[in-house]
Structure 1
Amino acid sequence: MKNNYQIKLTTALKTFCLLASFLVFTACGDDDESEPLSDAKEMLSFVFADLSPAITATISGTTVSATVPFGTDVTALTPTVTISQEAEVSPASGQAEDFSSAVIYTVTAADGTQAEYTVNVSVEAGSSAKELLTFVFEALDPDVTGVITDNSIQADVPFGTDLTTLVPTITISDLASVGPASGAAQDFTSPVNYTVTAQDGSTNVYAVTVTELPKPGVLITPVWERTRKEGGVPDWFTVNNDRDIALSSDYVYVHSNNDKIRVLSVTDGTDVSAGFADDDTNPDKEYINGKENFATGNLFLLTTATDDNGLIFGGNLRVGNGANPWNLYKWNNKDATQELFLSYVPPTGFHVAENLSVVGDATNNAFIYVPTSGFGTANNKILKFTVTGGVADDTPEVITLNGLENLGNAPDVWPVSGAADANFIVAGTGVGGIAEYDNSGNLVGKLPEALNTGKDAKLFEFALDVAYFELGLQKFVLATSTDFTASAPDKAGNLAVIDVTEGWENVESADIVYYALTPDGNDIANGNGTGGVDVRVNGNVATVAVWITNHGAALLDITLE
Structure 2
Amino acid sequence: MKKIINSAITLAGIFLLGACAKIDSEFTVKSSSKTLTALQINFADGTGGFTPTTPEPYGSDITVEIPWYYPEGSLNETSLDSLFISGSIPNSSYMSPAFGLTNLSSPKSYTLTAQDGSKNEFKITAVRKRSSKAEITSFKLKEADISGVVVNNKVIIPYTDVDISHQTAVVELSYYAKISPDPSTVHDYSQPVQYTVTADDGTNVVYTVQLGTPVKLEKGFGSVKKLWSKSSGDLGFEDYRQISIAVSGDYFVLPNSNEWVDGSSIKYYSRKTGAAAGNLNVSGVERIYSIANDKNGKIVGINSIYAGNNVCLYEWDNVNSAPKLLARTSDWSSVGGAFYGRKLSIYGDLSGDAVIMATTDGSNVAGANNILKWTVKNGTIVSQDPEVIKYPKGYDYVAKAVPTGPNATDDFYFCSNSPSFISYLSGTSKTVQYSFSSNFIANARGNTPALTYFEFNKAKFAAVIDASAYSSALHIFDVTDPSKISTSSSSGNYASFHVFDGSSDYVACPSANWNVTGDIAVGPVSADGFKMTVYFLVTNGGVVAYELNCIDVNAF
Normalising by the residue count of structure 2, what TM-score does the alignment of the two structures yield?
Answer: 0.51
- Aligned: 1:541 with 2:531: yes
Structure 2 CA distance, aligned partners of 1:246 and 1:533? Answer: 8
Partner of 1:45: none
Structure 2 CA distance, aligned partners of 1:225 and 1:377? Answer: 37
- Aligned: 1:526 with 2:526: no
Partner of 2:267: 262
State the 1:218 CA deviation.
Answer: 5.3
Structure 2 CA distance, aligned partners of 1:265 and 1:384? Answer: 31
State the 1:424 CA deviation.
Answer: 0.8
Deviations 1:2-35 (A, max 9, x none): xxxxxxxxxxxxxxxxxxxxxxxxxxxxxxxxxx
8 Å contact kept, 1:406–1:430: no
- Aligned: 1:559 with 2:549: yes
Q: 2:401 aligns with which of 407, 413, 418?
A: 413
Structure 2 CA distance, aligned partners of 1:265 and 1:306? Answer: 16
Instruction: Give the partner amino acid of 1:381.
Output: N
Quickly say closer, same or farther: Cα 1:384–1:431, change in 2 above 3 A.
farther
8 Å contact kept, 1:346–1:352: no
SS for the counterpart of 1:450 is coil
- List aligned pairs for 1:461-472, cutoff 5 A: 462-472=447-457
8 Å contact kept, 1:246–1:254: yes
Structure 2 CA distance, aligned partners of 1:438 and 1:445? Answer: 9
Instruction: Give the partner amino acid of 1:358.
Output: I
Quickly say closer, same or farther: Cα 1:350–1:224, change in 2 above 3 A.
same
Partner of 2:318: 333
Quickly say closer, same or farther: Cα 1:219–1:532, change in 2 above 3 A.
same
Instruction: Give the partner amino acid of 2:547.
Output: D
Partner of 1:480: 465
Q: Which structure's relative contact order is higher, taking Cα pairs within 8 Å and 6+ residues apart?
A: 2
Structure 1 CA distance, aligned partners of 2:378 and 2:458? Answer: 32
Structure 2 CA distance, aligned partners of 1:444 and 1:398? Answer: 19
Q: 2:373 aligns with which of 379, 384, 390?
A: 384
SS for the counterpart of 1:242 is coil
Structure 2 CA distance, aligned partners of 1:257 and 1:319? Answer: 12
Structure 1 CA distance, aligned partners of 2:468 and 2:503? Answer: 13
Quickly say closer, same or farther: Cα 1:324–1:517, change in 2 above 3 A.
farther
SS for the counterpart of 1:234 is helix
Structure 2 CA distance, aligned partners of 1:242 and 1:357? Answer: 16
Structure 2 CA distance, aligned partners of 1:340 and 1:217? Answer: 38
Partner of 1:220: 224
Structure 1 CA distance, aligned partners of 2:510 and 2:235? Answer: 19
State the 1:251 CA deviation.
Answer: 1.3
Quickly say closer, same or farther: Cα 1:540–1:519, change in 2 above 3 A.
closer
SS for the counterpart of 1:243 is coil
8 Å contact kept, 2:328–2:385: no
Partner of 1:437: 425
Q: 2:437 aligns with which of 444, 448, 464?
A: 448
Q: 1:493 aligns with which of 472, 480, 498?
A: 472
Deviations 1:45-90 (A, max 9, x none): xxxxxxxxxxxxxxxxxxxxxxxxxxxxxxxxxxxxxxxxxxxxxx
8 Å contact kept, 1:372–1:382: yes
State the 1:318 CA deviation.
Answer: 2.2
Partner of 2:248: 248
- List aligned pairs for 1:198-209, cutoff 5 A: none
Instruction: Give the partner amino acid of 1:243.
Output: I
Structure 1 CA distance, aligned partners of 2:443 and 2:337? Answer: 33
State the 1:342 CA deviation.
Answer: 0.8
Partner of 1:346: 332
8 Å contact kept, 1:499–1:507: no
Structure 2 CA distance, aligned partners of 1:473 and 1:306? Answer: 21
Instruction: Give the partner amino acid of 1:542.
Output: M
Quickly say closer, same or farther: Cα 1:516–1:394, change in 2 above 3 A.
same
State the 1:355 CA deviation.
Answer: 1.0
SS for the counterpart of 2:534 is strand
State the 1:518 CA deviation.
Answer: 6.7
Structure 1 CA distance, aligned partners of 2:433 and 2:280? Answer: 39
SS for the counterpart of 2:402 is strand
State the 1:551 CA deviation.
Answer: 0.9
8 Å contact kept, 2:248–2:318: no
Partner of 2:184: none
Instruction: Give the partner amino acid of 2:431.
Output: N
Structure 2 CA distance, aligned partners of 1:365 and 1:527? Answer: 37
Structure 2 CA distance, aligned partners of 1:335 and 1:216? Answer: 33
8 Å contact kept, 1:319–1:346: no
Partner of 1:272: 277
State the 1:325 CA deviation.
Answer: 0.1
State the 1:443 CA deviation.
Answer: 0.8
Q: 1:400 aligns with which of 365, 369, 390?
A: 390
State the 1:335 CA deviation.
Answer: 2.3
Structure 1 CA distance, aligned partners of 2:293 and 2:373? Answer: 16
User: RMSD of the alignment, in Å?
Assistant: 3.1
Quickly say closer, same or farther: Cα 1:216–1:272, change in 2 above 3 A.
closer
8 Å contact kept, 1:373–1:406: no
Quickly say closer, same or farther: Cα 1:225–1:529, change in 2 above 3 A.
same
State the 1:533 CA deviation.
Answer: 0.6
Structure 2 CA distance, aligned partners of 1:262 and 1:557? Answer: 22
Partner of 1:61: none
8 Å contact kept, 2:510–2:541: no
Partner of 1:109: none
Structure 2 CA distance, aligned partners of 1:390 and 1:270? Answer: 33
8 Å contact kept, 1:495–1:517: no
Instruction: Give the partner amino acid of 1:505.
Output: S
Deviations 1:515-550 (A, max 9, x none): 259768865421322111112452343321121101
Q: What percentage of residue pairs aligned between the two structures are identical? A: 24
Structure 2 CA distance, aligned partners of 1:405 and 1:268? Answer: 41
State the 1:216 CA deviation.
Answer: 7.9
- List aligned pairs for 1:312-331, cutoff 5 A: 312-318=299-305, 324-331=309-316
Instruction: Give the partner amino acid of 1:468.
Output: Y
